[in-house]
Amino acid sequence: MMQGSLVAIVTPMFEDGCLDIPSLNALIDFHIDQGTDGIVIVGTTGESPTVDFDEHCLLIETAVSQVNRRVPVIAGTGANSTKEAINLTQKAKELGADACLLVAPYYNKPTQEGLYQHFKAVADAVNIPQILYNVPGRTGCDISNDTVLRLAAHTNIVGIKDATGGIERGTDLLLRAPQDFAVYGGDDATAMALMLLGGKGVISVTANVAPKLMHEMCVLAIAGDVIAARAINAKLFALHQKLFIEANPIPVKWVLAEMGLIKTGIRLPMMNLSAQYHATLRNACAPAEIL
């Protein structure tokens, strides 16, 4: 079972918005050297809404090739069209991804039964491990715990990224889910607490800029070492908060550019970080000693 610090990796771009594949390859090597436990490619942080189908596939193919089985590769393949989600998931399997991450259909607001049938259709169509992704703050659609538990009975649905930030809700899911169903944090600020309660890791934005510390914190939290995990999380907490001072991935791409790991490219409608927040983010980086 995949566990630990799974980075929701950014998609490096040149200043004109074209994909920067050499920088992505270098970034993947950086993560593996720093202890990141898995690469999540073309998720929200990877600007999935603004890459086209061919680019989406190229990014998955690049990650699989560069990782070369050193860590798992999880491909973001969700869509608000069930047919499109099936096509992307099938393509990710063909390209060699280890698992897929499927966001709840966004904007069209399906019912709970619609959500169940959507995810079941993808899982029935493609034989690859699939992780549900619930982020109602972005999608306008919330997968209830009861629906998650119905889906957990499917052999291809192996876990969920819970980005609700609700500890009570996460606890309920952990208590009721099958033992082999993985609950991953999707909210960095509450991820440590979720792991201490039995979560298997975090699909993380913070890990983009502090991969070593995130890996170490996850190891300790999963092992139940509260005091040591809390000490590392304290160094990361300002990042957990301030990396969302503007919409993700605007702040995290700014920090990575300041670290010299990527160029400043980002695609509209996202824009580069507002100058008024530069000092705030520099201060947030200080406890983790990354700038």
The residues annotated with a catalytic role in the active site are 133, 161
DSSP states of the chain: ---EEEEE----B-TTS-B-HHHHHHHHHHHHHHT--EEEESSTTTTGGGS-HHHHHHHHHHHHHHHTTSS-EEEE---SSHHHHHHHHHHHHHHT-SEEEEEPP-SS---HHHHHHHHHHHHHH--S-EEEEE-HHHHS----HHHHHHHTTSTTEEEEEE-S--HHHHHHHHHHS-TT-EEEE--HHHHHHHHHTT--EEEESGGGT-HHHHHHHHHHHHHT-HHHHHHHHHHHHHHHHHTTSSSTTHHHHHHHHHTTSS-S---TT--PPPGGGHHHHHHHHGGGT--
